[in-house]
Structure 1
Amino acid sequence: MKDDLFPKEFFYRHSKLVAPDLIGCYLIKKNNKKSLVKGLIVETEAYSQEEEACHGYRKKTESNKLLFGKPGTFYIYKSYGIHHCLNIVTDKENFASGVLIRAVFISTKNERLASGPGLVTKTFGVDKSFNSLEVLNNNSLWISQRDSSIEEKDLIQTTRIGISKAKNIKWRWYLKNSSSVSKRLKGDRTPKFQ
């Protein structure tokens, strides 16, 4: 099952390089010995301490220290104290950089079930107990590589959502032909079929 994992170096790059490369990859959660939830990642956002919207912009704190940690680990936080958000730490240690998984398509479920970061964690049963787990080295939650190629023309690159600072940076990507995307670029119509 796990022979389709990434090389370790994949996550040792800037978040704005990792984020588009995660589109088309699979988020997989093992619920028990026989049950898996598997979905196609269709939307991501990049954050880095160089810009104000990043949790690590000002300094390392107790609540954001995992974002400064080892690339290829999960960083989970609560948004507005309500929804958990699933992020993957990228780039290098002691530098806050991460990718938020914004939307996932699960072929056996309603296409809008995981069409937002809070819906992703709710659908996959992800909470802070997954914090600091290595993406490639655990048996409960992981990401596997794409099984088909995705080209730049298949993606839409646009600004991030739900932030008040650094709003004009185009560090959000989504799969153009997916109807599971949380919010489309103005004028980009939702496709009829996935």
Structure 2
Amino acid sequence: MAQNRTSNEQKLGKPLKRAFFARSVHEVAPDLIGATLLVDGVGGIIVELEAYHHSEPAAHSFRGPTPRNMVMFGPPGFAYVYRSYGIHWCVNFVCEKQGSASAVLIRALQPTQGIPAMRRRRGLHDERSLCSGPGKLTEALGITDAHNGLPVDAPPIALHARVEKPDIATGVRIGITKAVELPWRYGLKGSKFLSKPF
């Protein structure tokens, strides 16, 4: 489906509101595949993400609230941005209900809007590599800790529902050492923009 579109052909679906995220993280995650994420008009189609539930040890919220993860314990539909390995920013969207502290980590996008800006920020030309990983996409979209705690349905962030139902692949999450057996990674089947093949 969407992986074959050019930026000129892309049609945006209806804007997603915070209420979209007030559901189980396992319902939200597959429904976000094929949706479009924009930050200040720059972004693309979500082709890969991971679900994190407060009940499992890979979730940042597993041991309770801290200054770092406090946004996860707030209401759904807000961005949780954190620094990974002291190098890269990662962006998540809080799900379920206030206090549940579950979220989806956005892992990869198919670039569709603002590609020249992405290339400048990333210092490379290859479209496939611009957003093919959680740290890459935040750099490409200019996401930093300044976006932590912002609502997903108000500027500078915009989310639009997918316009076609995608074929979704699932698998185990990447780069974690706990709860590694859980098949909570979701992706657009066959997309060349994934961080890693399924």
Residues paired across the two proteins, number = 176
Conserved? CA contact 2:168–2:186, under 8 Å: yes
Aligned to 1:111, what secondary structure does the other structure show?
helix
Paired residues for 1:130-169 under 5 Å: 130-136=147-153, 138-150=154-166, 154-169=167-182
Question: Is it true that 1:20 corresponds to 2:30 in the alignment?
Answer: yes
Aligned to 1:112, what secondary structure does the other structure show?
helix
Q: 1:72 aligns with which of 52, 55, 77?
A: 77
TM-score between both structures, scaled by the size of structure 1: 0.86
Question: Is it true that 1:41 corresponds to 2:46 in the alignment?
Answer: yes
Q: Separation in 2 of the partners of 1:2 and 1:23?
A: 14
Q: Separation in 2 of the partners of 1:163 and 1:122?
A: 21
Amino acid at match of 1:91: E
Q: Deviations over 1:160-179 (max 9, x none)?
A: 00001000000000101210
Q: Deviations over 1:115-163 (max 9, x none)?
A: 0000010000000101111101x2212211112222xxx1111000000
Conserved? CA contact 1:19–1:46, under 8 Å: yes
Q: Separation in 1 of the partners of 2:162 and 2:71?
A: 26
Q: 2:134 aligns with which of 117, 140, 144?
A: 117
Q: Deviations over 1:58-87 (max 9, x none)?
A: 111111111111100000000111100010
Q: Separation in 2 of the partners of 1:92 and 1:5?
A: 20
Q: Deviations over 1:21-61 (max 9, x none)?
A: 1000001121xxxxx31301000100011100000001111
Question: Is it true that 1:105 corresponds to 2:110 in the alignment?
Answer: yes
Conserved? CA contact 1:42–1:104, under 8 Å: yes
Q: Separation in 2 of the partners of 1:124 and 1:7?
A: 20
Question: Is it true that 1:5 corresponds to 2:18 in the alignment?
Answer: no
Amino acid at match of 1:159: V
1:183 equivalent in structure 2:
196
Among all aligned residue pairs of Structure 1 and Structure 2, give the percentage whose two residues are the same amino acid. Answer: 41
Q: Separation in 1 of the partners of 2:17 and 2:111?
A: 25
1:3 shift after superposition: 7.8
1:2 shift after superposition: 8.9
1:7 shift after superposition: 4.5
Conserved? CA contact 1:40–1:106, under 8 Å: yes
Q: Separation in 2 of the partners of 1:83 and 1:40?
A: 21
